[in-house]
Chain A
Amino acid sequence: MAEKETLALGRAVPSEARASLEQVFELSYRRLAVQLYGVVGNLPEAEDLVQEAFVRAAAAGARFRRVDNPEAWLRRTAINLHRNRWRKVRNFHRIRPRLEVPPADLPGLDEHLVVVEALRQLPVGQREAVALHYLADLQVAEIANLVGVPEGTVKSRLMRGREALAALLSEESDHE
């Protein structure tokens, strides 16, 4: 149980206590999928990214088992995949109009759905910073390292994202 809690917090674990990929999957999949849901604002895309990260982990075999923090590794892989997919879409966008696909949501979110809708309205960088900070509990330096931008940029995105989110959620409350 102690091992599960350690993994759940996403901290590094000593090699003798390293979990199997299946254990990591059971403990981290849902949490990672929610974090990516916040980052990309689209449930099927988030699920696909996290599942692809687990496929890469399975393919890496022993190389993955030597990773100190499996959840952080999987999050980084999923975020990298997302960033590169987005860049690819952006490149295609220059050449032909992008096909708009309505975002899909998790059923049963009820009153929490407004949070996803508010996150979707943030610019990509702000949404990424807010989701990684509040949903993945990452600090500014960790987010900067993960997304490859200076810490000052992350701080600024977080501040603006927080303000915009508060305004959007407040508007939503006023409507209720």
Chain B
Amino acid sequence: MSELKLKGFAERAEERMPLPDFTALSDRGRELRHRRQAAVAGVLACVLAVAGILVVRNDSPKAVEPVRPPDNTPVRGPEYPGPVMEDLEAGTYELTPSPDPVYPRASITLPEGWNAWEGPNRFDVNEPAAGNEEALEEITWYVGILVVEVYGVQTRPCSGSSENVETVEPTAESLVRAIRHVRGGFRMTETPEPLATFGYPATRFRLIPTDGATGCEDNLFITAANGVVGGYADIEDVWVVDVDGYPVLIDSQLSGEVPPAVQDELEAAVDSIEFHFEE
């Protein structure tokens, strides 16, 4: 009975459904592709220019690593479980930075002791807790990694509101520009420089909370595919990576008195990130 009604609805709705202008959609797609391609060209030009300057100044072509072509045989692990707040086994996981299936995926290798959330994280607590979610309330130090497509950058500290977001065009150039001029609860501590890392052109930033935003519970700074994320941390090391025209943000977060061994784990986990495309 219900099935027949559902089928009847589908038939009628399909008949009545207006067809939009295909050309307009196609043009939007073409424009998006061109922006991505232009961004790749722009970032590559920056990388080559910086590499050239360093070669002239230092006679050391190793000062900036050459851009490696994407690895065709990446290590692929199990799907990352997502924001489930549970322990992760040591191993390589497959992260999905975007809901867009053509977007690059990222593999990341983690040691024991890490937890699943929007991105993998690790933290310590004052007292034993019932579960990871409860433990997070009693945090003494924290490290975490996000690998995401970014939709926007927050423009006011301590506001997770969608009204205070500067929308980012889907290009690495636009994302770099937005983070370079970040006006939210974070500020840059070093001049960002283009470099080649993770096998692709990239730009690295170090962000710390502004004075007014220190300790603010809603000091989130990016709206990504998975919602409003990033922030809270004392130090945010951010890379904008241009993966064949698809901008991906890697955010390495560190808060509190993190033991040196865990800092090494964080660094090694970030270093292990490799991008690849689904065939």
Contact = CB atoms under 8 A, between A and B. Distances in A.
Interface string A71-84: 00100110011011
Interface in B50-101: 82, 99-101
Size class of the contact patch on chain B: 35 or more
Given A77-B100, A81-B99, A55 B28 contact: yes
Nearest to A94: B160
A112 B161 contact: no
Nearest to A56: B100
B20 interface: yes
Interface in B16-40: 16-17, 19-20, 22, 25-26, 28-30, 32-33, 36
B20 A34 contact: no
A64 to B, nearest CB: 7
Interface residues of A, number: 58
B256 to A, nearest CB: 24
B9 A112 contact: yes
Interface stretch (B218-226, B234-242, B263-271): B218-226
Contact of A112 (B12, B17, B19, B162): B12
A21 interface: yes
B99 A84 contact: yes
Contact of B13 (A21, A57, A106): A106
Contact of A83 (B19, B28, B99, B218): B99
B29 A84 contact: no
Given A61-B33, A162-B2, A109 B12 contact: yes
Contacts of A94: 160
Please list the 4 inter-chain residue pairs (A to B) with the smallest Cβ-Cβ separation, ordered nearest first. A58-B29, A80-B99, A91-B227, A115-B9
Interface of B: 1-3, 5-10, 12-14, 16-17, 19-20, 22, 25-26, 28-30, 32-33, 36, 82, 99-102, 160-162, 218, 223, 225-228, 277, 279
